[in-house]
Amino acid sequence: MVQPRLDRDPLARRLPEPAAAMETSAWLEPRPGEASPNAVVLESLLARLEQCFGIPQRPRSPDGLPLYPDLLDELVGTILSQNTTDHNSSRAFRALKAAFPSWEAVLAADPTKLAQVIRPGGLAQLKAARIQEILAAIVQRQGSLSLDFLRDLDDADALAYLLSLKGVGLKTAACVLLFGLGRDLCPVDTHVHRVANRLGLVRARHPDDTFAQLSPRIPAGKAYSLHVNLIRLGKRICKARMPECGRCPLRHECPSALLRQR
């Protein structure tokens, strides 16, 4: 399965195209048994991030088991989060769940009404159409509105299925696997992409290339921690326009920070 061009998607940012089209399995190369120099550096940075921001914990149920959302909830919620703030996407998702009793009702809804409901998330007409197209495709292929069958697939096959849905990119698919299935993947959003490149962990023009370069180097079991803490660092300190290098916990190891200090 070849990743579709993101610059053809009206909901995606106008980013450079990935360096080369890759099969899904190429994004998920087995992690080496012996740590490479790059993996050792990443492990050290991970430890420093956890010292600064803590070790992120997945939500848990009262019996202590990991609490994963419905997979369609995760997929649609991630689509609603595109090109907007967390606050606005949460408002749109809550409004969607309050207005429609089921995903079948969302699929059958008048597109104009659906767009009005999710308007707080921005790009409402485009997102409404995208959501209904995806729900229709799932029903056509699976016979019902459920993604629970993904739980029985390995990472590569689950990613391939999600990427085959029109409008679902690599970041969205990886989010479904990380947050909905508890898989050991680190989705690459704008913050992870920016920070990983500034730290010299990767050299990539496109987030998909960052995902491909970063994934094999992440210590087993640490993808969730890396994803959450790189986003925390990107939002609070390593900002896009004015990074606050002076208070960054990684400033002594960061090539970008060292250049700024000269």
Catalytic residue, candidates 113, 171, 235, 239: 171
Cα angle 95-97-101, degrees, rounded to a multiple of 5: 130
H/E element holding 95? helix 86-99
Q: How far is CA 23 from CA 18, 29, 30, 63, 69, in A?
A: 12, 11, 14, 39, 28
Phi, psi of 66 (to 5 degrees): -55, 140
Describe the chain by its helix, strand, coil percentages, rounded to 5.
60, 0, 40
Is residue 110 within 8 Å of residue 142, measured between CB atoms?
no
AA letter at 142: Q
Name residue, tokens 């679902």: 168
Tokens of 182: 């508890």
Active-site residue, 113 included = no
Q: What φ, ψ does residue 65 adopt, rounded to 5°?
A: -85, 150
Residue 41, judged by CB atoms within 10 A of its CB (0-12, 13-18, 19+), counts as: middle
Q: What is the dihedral of CA 170, 174, 176, 178, to 10 degrees?
A: -170
- Residues with a known catalytic role: 171
